[in-house]
Amino acid sequence: MGDHLEKGQHALLNEGDENEMEIFGYQTQRCRKALCLIGSIFSLGILPLVFYWRPAWHVWANCVPCSLQEADVVLLKTTDEFKIYSWKKVMWISLSALSRTSGLTPDHPLITDEEYIINRAIRKPDLKVRYIKVQKIRYVWNNLEGQFQKIGSLEDWLSSAKIHQKFGLGLTSEEQEIRRLICGPNAIDVEITPIWKLLIKEVLNPFYIFQLFSVCLWFSEDYKEYALAIILMSVISIALTVYDLRQQSVKLHHLVESHNSITVSVCERKAGAQDLESRLLVPGDLLILTGSRVQMPCDAILIDGSCVVDEGMLTGESIPVTKTPLSQMASSAPWRMQTEADPRRHVLFCGTEVIQARAAASGTVRAVVLQTGFNTAKGDLVRSILYPKPMNFKLYRDAIRFLLCLVGTATIGMIYTLCVYVLSGEPPEEVVRKALDVITIAVPPALPAALTTGIIYAQRRLKRKGIFCISPQRINVCGQLNLVCFDKTGTLTRGGLDPWGVVPCDQNGFQAVHSFASGKALPQGPLCAAMASCHSLILLDGTIQGDPMDLKMFEATKWEMTISGDDFHIKGMLAHTMVVKPTDTVGQVPVEGLAILRQFPFSSALQRMTVIVQEMRGDRLAFMKVPSSFISELQIYTTQGFRVIALAYKKLENDCPATALMREKVESDLIFLGLLILENRLKEETKPVLEELISARIRTVMITGDNLQTAITVARKSGMVSEGQKVILVEANEATGSSSASVSWKLVEEKKYIPLENQDNYINIREEVPDHGREGSYHFALSGKSFRVLSQHFSSLLPKILMNGTIFARMSPGQKSSLVEEFQKLDYFVGMCGDGANDCGALKMAHVGISLSEQEASVASPFTSKTANIECVPYLIKEGRAALVTSFCMFKYMALYSMIQYVGVLLLYWETNSLSNYQFLFQDLAITTLIGVTMNLNGANPKLVPFRPAGRLISPPLLLSVIINILLSLAMHIVGFVLVRKQPWYLMELHSACTVRNESISAITTSPNVPEKNRSHSPFSSFENTTIWFLGTINCIIVALVFSKGKPFRQPTYTNYIFVLVLIMQMGVCLFILFADIPELHRRLDLLCTPVLWRVYILIMISSNFIVSFAVEETIIENRALWLAVKRCFGYQSKSQYRIWQRNLANDSNWPPLNQTSCSDMQGVSYSNPVFESNEEQL
């Protein structure tokens, strides 16, 4: 309906964003609403339930389409593949209260200025604002542009000059009141969801509604024992789910609770600074930052002074980051675009901690509130947890189809039942009851509980290994992973960098390497002084804090850091300045110490950092560090995985104040001092784990923010790139003036390392790698810049590169997420493993995110490992595969159990008979329920095999297994049903054949042991009933044994001792009932005694069924070689995108290109999962 609306009735919300939605306007009609109310009453609540499951139907039934401007209800539909509908009421904010207290009128200057969205949202003359609230964000109706727009942040078009001019002195109290009403409170409110709400939401699941229907039907038939058992299992299942959801809700509430109760100092334009609750902050407010250890309650732009901030909540790394003020420029360009530097260096993000605030000339540290509430960085993280992207997993779609098939089967059974019972002249209520019984038999109500137990067992096994899961349904998805992306630093390698050595340089060139491992003191001089002072470390509570690399560099000098006292005077130096000086252990030094006068923080755009220092009783100097560009000397170390930093310095004039010096002047004409070499060692577990994954044919990919050469070396050392495989560097460049975007391909030469003098030093022998066959013998390596250019200009080329792309370096957090998404478009099941540092987006985007950090940033990750290494990855995949196979086993078993009962009951219905309540109870409770609880206990196989289990319920082997076993059961039941009617003792009027002797069947006599008063008069007792019940009951046990899979994905069935014991006990009890002549037992179970020979026949039929079923399962269903041969015979080829590309590239003799450059003839085209076409141009 929503697709055929006129213009103005439909628009896009958050266009281009990840959470983009279509929005449709509707107006409620009273007559429609009244009809729906009547329908709800007459349907006994079924109609509201349907509307709850289908929100769009609710809107279409109650409302009529209209323009968004007139709408009182909006229908929202996500634009992703899931097309999820939801609806929201349009609400109003009235500013009339302000008009009375503040004299606000429609022609007031604060309202007539329509430059800002807030003013455009106010409708004149009644001073009202229309808005909707979607996923915690407010969207106001922009009267000028005629659309809903997000509110709660400053406009993106604002220039730095405009921010200083408009907000530099604060807002007036009237402006604050208007913004508070329209933007709402600055709070990330995550209420702890009441248990009754969680309970209702869980109980209204369609399957639990079906269970309620089944239970009511069983109570009406006095089948209360199993009804109570199902109620108990459902209550346990619901309680566990509600408990998990409640714990997550509590955890998230505590995560954001402290954010909402902070007192801040705000500068009001007329009244000056005043303390205010953080909930009252609005975009544009001017914050005054004082003291240290201040939690930021919002996102704010720093406009005066500087701050040292701990951004661990966002990045996962508790590394102090220096924030600099947004300078006031004349340009009218948006403030984010005014400089090449990263604009985030000016932003204090919500949830981060201001460790230190340093005032500038004005004497205060000031920041303008940029975003509030759920619009902030922390709010966005919390929203991603509250509203996760739905999981597109075929197993769950197939499960719905599986249930629909069972419903279809039940419908056929109902029609058959109606025909038989109506023709037999049975009472109408009996006919209806029997027909409804068929539904509860064909669709097993115990299925959700049985599947839940398997997931719970897997979750418990993971917990014992220190892997915690907040999304249990993802465990099954782990079983399908065939590509795992890894962050490098802190994940594959150790978290910090260790100093390896320095290479001094003088006018004669590079000198001998000074190795820190030798234990010798570093020679004192400018190089040592540069290492001691050129960093962003701070001294907080007597502890040095900062970037781990800077910390290691400083510690290697054996200097110390202090804060200057009030009696410490140097010209141009403020009191309490940072001072570094040699310790007594260093020995003779040329300087007493260095006072750090000014820092130019590291800039990702400039790729350098500089400090201005003052020697005690000496010169003023500038020291700079920068990633080295001395190619020949640099490659000796970078190809071995070392991080190389170049150091330089220059002398400055003492008379010029440090604050007056321009960065460009300070960083020119420096003298090169040498290279600092740091190493990032692999974790011990990395190489064995990667080898295990690669041997299991699971692709491994590295996504890192580190430099490309180091990443390539780590990939080689870790085994991600095997010995003898080529690494091809893909370099893509943006279009310039006359030339279009281009991409070039260069072979990265492999270096061999030879130990020298028994030390950890290496020399390089340049040697090109021989070609050992094209397929799988090469890997692509590229940087984040190249990835961006390829995405924009080489859309058809990107998937080809991704097919063998293994090393992605200098990737931003956003690019990591994009790369994971691109792999998913190729139909890979993608896992992402990171330590939380800049990996949050990718962890959320992946099918399975595994965080190795317990920082707040990893709350969004489905899995968190307490052990900070990648050993958890193969273990998680093994458990996922075992859980997936267990789910299939349970689906198959429940299908067979239902069909066995279904076939048996329909055969008995032919005689207008059925199974009795106690017979049903024995099968449902004593057999199936115990099997459902214990079959799932098999652990995962410790070996990771090189293939995955089937990912779909409708896969040919699984369907064939179910169909064959259903046919075998059907045949066995029909044979038993027909044969029993042909037995000579069948027509006995006394309904007992206990005394029939096998040698003289014709001599029928009444058993003297069964007096008349003890004979069964139950309406269910018959020879057909007895035969069908024994065949069905024992068949349920046999099917459980046949379907309980062991290797290759689970441990062998015999290791599941509880399950084996249960099967033995169940089989023993069944055989005892079959062969024991205990009249009271038979009476209780509504069974009749049969001749021993017939009982043997029953056993023969069951044994034959077991032998055939087991043989088929082992020789056909589980025969992987046979199914591969069948695929080859019929020419079946996988339709997965990555398989299509693999086949294409294998036949492409020109791929991969080497020493070539290709130019783009397309500008700005994005890749969106193209299907390969054979006539695609060859590069």
Residues labelled as active-site residues: 487
Q: Which positions ≥6 away from 811 have C-beta within 8 Å? A: 703, 704, 705, 783, 784, 787, 819
Q: How many residues can be counted in the chain?
A: 1179
Q: Which positions ≥6 away from 910 have C-beta within 8 Å? A: 420
CB 680 within 8 A of CB 494: yes
List the alpha helices (DSSP H) in 656-750.
663-666, 686-695, 708-718
CA-nearest of 775, 799, 776 to 787 is 799
- Torsion, Cα 244 249 254 257, to 10 degrees, reads 180
Q: Which positions ≥6 away from 759 have C-beta within 8 Å? A: 515, 517
Q: Give the type of residue at 231.
A: I
DSSP string for residues in 163-229: HHHHHTT---HHHHHHHHHHH--S--------HHHHHHHHHTSHHHHHHHHHHHHHHHTT-HHHHHH
CA distance 741 to 847: 33
Strand order in the sheet with 353-358: 294-295, 353-358, 306-310, 320-323
910 alpha carbon, distance to own chain's centre: 52
CB 366 within 8 A of CB 311: no
Q: Are strands 848-851 and 830-834 parallel, antiparallel or unpaired?
A: parallel
Angle between helices 631-638 and 708-718 (to 10 degrees): 30
- Reported in sequence order, the residue ranges of 373-478 that DSSP labels E, i.e. its strands, are 467-469
CB 817 within 8 A of CB 841: yes
Tokens standing for residue 210: 């079906």
CA-nearest of 320, 314, 313, 258 to 540 is 320
Exposed, middle or buried by CB within 10 Å (0-12, 13-18, 19+), for 942?
A: exposed
Tokens standing for residue 234: 């459902």
CB 492 within 8 A of CB 486: yes
Exposed, middle or buried by CB within 10 Å (0-12, 13-18, 19+), for 1171?
A: exposed
Name the β-bridge partners of 26.
65, 73
What angle is formed at CA 381 by the lines to CA 377 and CA 384, rounded to 5 degrees?
135
Half-sphere exposure of 54 (CA within 13 A, CB side): 8
Exposed, middle or buried by CB within 10 Å (0-12, 13-18, 19+), for 532?
A: buried
The b/e string for 712-732 (b: 16+ C-beta within 10 A; e otherwise) is bbbbbbbbbbeeebbbbbbbb
CA distance 19 to 78: 7
Tokens standing for residue 976: 């038993």
Q: What are phi and psi of 267, to 5 degrees?
A: -95, 115
CB 1156 within 8 A of CB 744: yes
What angle is formed at CA 343 by the lines to CA 809 and CA 550, rounded to 5 degrees?
55
